[in-house]
Structure 1
Amino acid sequence: MGKLGEDFFTKPTLLLAELLLGKVFVHNAADGRCYKGRIVETEAYLAEGDEACHAFRGMTKRNKVMYGSPGTLYVYFTYGCHNLMNIVTEPEGVAGAVLIRAMEPMSGIEEMKKNRDIMRTVDLMNGPGKLTSAMDITLEHNGLSLSSDTVYLEEGENFPPSVISSSKRIGITKSADLFWRRYIAGNAFVSKSKPGPPPGKKKTLLES
């Protein structure tokens, strides 16, 4: 599979949240291990008009990576125990990002099981905190470019609109009415679902 270039990440956030589905995230760890997972669930966040976005109230030390170049990793620590991984979007100086919510394990699965201390493959990456733990993504990766050799995306699979569904984002209370979550309907590795339009009937980018 070919490595995606910088141009892939220059698309609007809501569009990229959908186009990321099926792409393969690769982490070549410092200890020589290689992890790969197919993205099956995302959520979009934008500073403008989105109170759930970290950058809604402007730049801080924590969120400044979101204002960087598209295709940069934004990793943050939350709930006192989880690292969450996002891909920066929008032009430099404008804050936006796509949270990677779930992946389908592809390579390095036995090491992922050790990292998570679980045996069921289906439970390895079906949540944003789970997938970073499985792939050994930490705050040390915050600010890394997806054009590097350490972390990058491969082309993977292009899912047709008929299997892509949408819903409100999960676990937030502000701007909770926005249908900015995208996922592969029926995929066993997607995290818990919320009601939304059926596959092929999702809201358009203008309606979202």
Structure 2
Amino acid sequence: MTDVIMPIEPISKDLLRQKVSDAIISYIYRNGLKPGDQLPSERQLAEEFAVGRNSVRLGMHHLEKDNFIERIVGKGSFVKREVSAESIQLKLLCVNYKDLLEIKICLEQLAIRRAMEIATKEQIVNLKEIALHLCALADKGVFSIEADRKFHTALLDCGGSPTLSQVVLSLIDSLNYYTSMLGNVSEIWLKTISFHLDIAVALEQHKLSLALAAHEYIYQYDVKVLEGLTTDIAAT
């Protein structure tokens, strides 16, 4: 078991339909728990994941059937076998991430095209200010998920469709949830910051091709995050 315990990540509201077992597998994997190590109680997991205890119980039952954990009455739940990157759950994670990413990219490109036609000057100024804030943080070596989400929210607002915004932000939250399982990927995402500013400037100058090109560069770096997971799986 590792000396530094990674925090249990809460499950996004949009992922409640996903099995809690995926989140438990992630906790075991990221904390390097070994066979015989004890898991938090069902009550604690339910609180941390923000789900009902019955959902946790079902997730535990699923993992017990797959021989990942062992539940002992009166003592608790224990890791039964080591979780590696080649586990089925993490392979499914790779597939889910790719699907969500591709859908998110297509919808954001639609938002950019709409923004080029209908975004107000005030909206673009706001978008540019957020991008400059991201750049200032990046100069300090800091990538802020909150600030990045704020940028994408502002970009979607420029597109003028609340429904489109809701769908894409849901995808972004889901992607952030998945990448939290992979560890620290901030170093890769820091390389995307300048392209956020390029998108804002391109919208300001009414240059659609430049805005889409900058967005494509961001997508390519997002793919690198996915490739990192794929490499981890192949190496095991």
Structure in which a larger fraction of residues adopt strand: 1
- Structure with greater Cα Rg: 2
**Fold similarity call, TM over 0.5:** no
TM-score (ref. length: structure 1)? 0.26
Structure in which a larger fraction of residues adopt helix: 2
The structure, 1 or 2, with the larger RCO (C-alpha pairs under 8 Å, 6+ apart) is 1
TM-score (ref. length: structure 2)? 0.24
